[in-house]
Chain A
């Protein structure tokens, strides 16, 4: 029987801390993105702050890409993760759009 060889990705010692930090920032920046977007929709923040939400999404996507490349994910995974990030960008818009339409119908 052919021996099965699984190549384990070696992570450089200096990369451990950036990986832990960047993967945390994926979620923290993601939280800021939806939080700012939500607060603007709730009219607790002026709409002038809306671009900051997108800045956080960009930072989040960059961190996700950074983590994916540093841990040596394969190309398919990196592409799938980037598609996920685009979905994450669209999701709050879709939700508030549907919510708004539902409320308009409800009020009518």
Chain B
């Protein structure tokens, strides 16, 4: 297959995107297994545990996104800095080591599943830390690989041109890598342990990943519709300050679960309420800039600039999805007074599905298309039937799952938490509640729809190189 990319860094990025897409598929398959087991508990009984399916579903999600994020940086870095990535050979070595490690870890999860719950289990099978369950050996390996990535980014940025996007990325990636360390050690006190563990996932997704998305969106808007760099980068800095402020203090809305002083209720509630503000600001500036740019072009009788329609469609979905998933679905159950009833119900799951999809999956799939465009030397990548089916089915599927889970969660909140007071019996009664069961049924159906959309996506990605519809 032809490769029109001139930078080794961008070629490496394609490898990262490829593995990310495979892991995305694995995530969806595991999700389907877990969703089926919710309705039919005997499905794969004593062959494949629900806990394992759920664990691989969540870990594959985190890992494919990290793969796609690293790939995105390797892709945009030479274009932003104007030079080949420094330490690219080390970067390639790190890629193969990481991929081999991820393969071994996933195979162990699937084939071995459980251990004797001793030191050896922690080292070789599962560290037991939700979302980041990698065994200790892989955990240390991930840190080394990420440090190589951070080194490459910093060395390249310091040697080449430092644009606003690259500067924000430098700060962001350092925080992203550093926060992982907070989830690597144990304390005997489970409250303290959870406190530190939360720093990884919560600050990843609500601070560092959000800023990361801002960087990708900025890069994408410049490349796809020719947005003015000064405007985009100004907004990027505003988003950085707002997201770090609201993200870090908004973390307090979880603290009331772990015995921290009561003032965190108010600080956490207030700042988590502010969290959607930068998202709305991001949305407004995208709409405003796009309208203004196209208006100017039309005024000058010039053709509107649109170099990559599928990527732009995914980026627009990101603006809506971010607002809906992280904003609306986050805010309506984030206040501590409400969260005390909703925490750990399917509400959390509904928010998680739409927020991860809307805020992150969309933009990273957009980056797949950016990579595809570069690799095949396409000047104008057009929307195809497959790409339209992919974005429609995946989006409708995830929205359907979110609504189904919300209804199931609402039933849980009323029956399991409010009426029956969160007892063991209450949990089982709510599992048989008709809203819950029907919600889970619709979740499975819309999950299948999402998977069909994924097949269209893969088909589109694989056939783009030979599709004559695109302008070269």
Cβ contact of A31, chosen from B266, B280, B338, B418, cutoff 8 A: B280
Chain A positions 1-47 with a Cβ under 8 Å from a chain B Cβ:
6, 8-9, 11, 13, 16-17, 19-20, 23-24, 26-28, 30-31, 34-35, 38, 41-42, 44
Q: Does A81 contact B (CB under 8 A)?
A: yes
Chain A residues lying within 8 Å of B414, measured Cβ to Cβ, are 13, 16
Q: Does B291 contact A (CB under 8 A)?
A: yes
Given known A16-B413, A81-B273, contact A30–B337 (CB-CB < 8 A): no
Distance, CA A64 to CA B280, complexed state (A): 17
Chain A residues lying within 8 Å of B327, measured Cβ to Cβ, are 27
Chain A residues lying within 8 Å of B283, measured Cβ to Cβ, are 31
Chain A residues lying within 8 Å of B66, measured Cβ to Cβ, are none
Main secondary structure of the interface of B (DSSP, over half): helix
Distance, CA A80 to CA B270, complexed state (A): 8
Distance, CA A102 to CA B269, complexed state (A): 35
| A64: nearest chain-B partner, CB-CB | B273
Chain B residues lying within 8 Å of A100, measured Cβ to Cβ, are none
Distance, CA A106 to CA B183, complexed state (A): 48
Distance, CA A88 to CA B266, complexed state (A): 19
Chain B residues lying within 8 Å of A81, measured Cβ to Cβ, are 270, 273
The digit string for B281-295, where 1 denotes a CB below 8 A from any CB of A, is: 001100110011001
Let me know if A76 and B284 touch, CB within 8 A: no
Given known A11-B338, A88-B277, contact A20–B333 (CB-CB < 8 A): yes
Distance, CA A37 to CA B40, complexed state (A): 50
A17 to chain B, nearest CB (A): 8
Q: Does B381 contact A (CB under 8 A)?
A: no
Distance, CA A41 to CA B291, complexed state (A): 11
Chain A residues lying within 8 Å of B410, measured Cβ to Cβ, are 16-17, 20
A-B contact count (CB 8 A): 78
Let me know if A23 and B335 touch, CB within 8 A: yes
Let me know if A27 and B328 touch, CB within 8 A: yes
Let me know if B331 and A26 touch, CB within 8 A: yes
Chain B residues lying within 8 Å of A31, measured Cβ to Cβ, are 280, 283, 323
User: Interface residues of B toward A: which range?
Assistant: 20 to 34
Q: Does B118 contact A (CB under 8 A)?
A: no
Distance, CA A73 to CA B291, complexed state (A): 40
A59 to chain B, nearest CB (A): 15
Chain A residues lying within 8 Å of B332, measured Cβ to Cβ, are 19-20, 23-24
Distance, CA A23 to CA B329, complexed state (A): 9
Chain B residues lying within 8 Å of A41, measured Cβ to Cβ, are 288
B409 to chain A, nearest CB (A): 10
Let me know if A71 and B291 touch, CB within 8 A: no
Distance, CA A5 to CA B313, complexed state (A): 52
Let me know if B292 and A71 touch, CB within 8 A: no
Let me know if B341 and A74 touch, CB within 8 A: no
Question: Can you spell out 17 A-B residue pairs with CB atoms less than 8 angstroms apart?
Answer: A9-B337, A11-B337, A11-B341, A11-B418, A20-B332, A23-B331, A27-B280, A27-B323, A27-B327, A30-B276, A31-B283, A34-B280, A35-B287, A73-B266, A77-B269, A80-B270, A92-B284
Residues of B in contact with A (beta carbons under 8 Å apart): 262, 266, 269-270, 273-274, 276-277, 280, 283-284, 287-288, 291-292, 295, 323, 327-328, 331-333, 335, 337-338, 340-341, 410, 413-414, 418-419
14 other contacts beyond A23-B331, A27-B328, with CB at 8 A cut-off? A16-B418, A17-B410, A20-B333, A20-B338, A23-B332, A27-B331, A28-B328, A34-B280, A35-B284, A42-B295, A67-B335, A77-B266, A81-B270, A84-B274
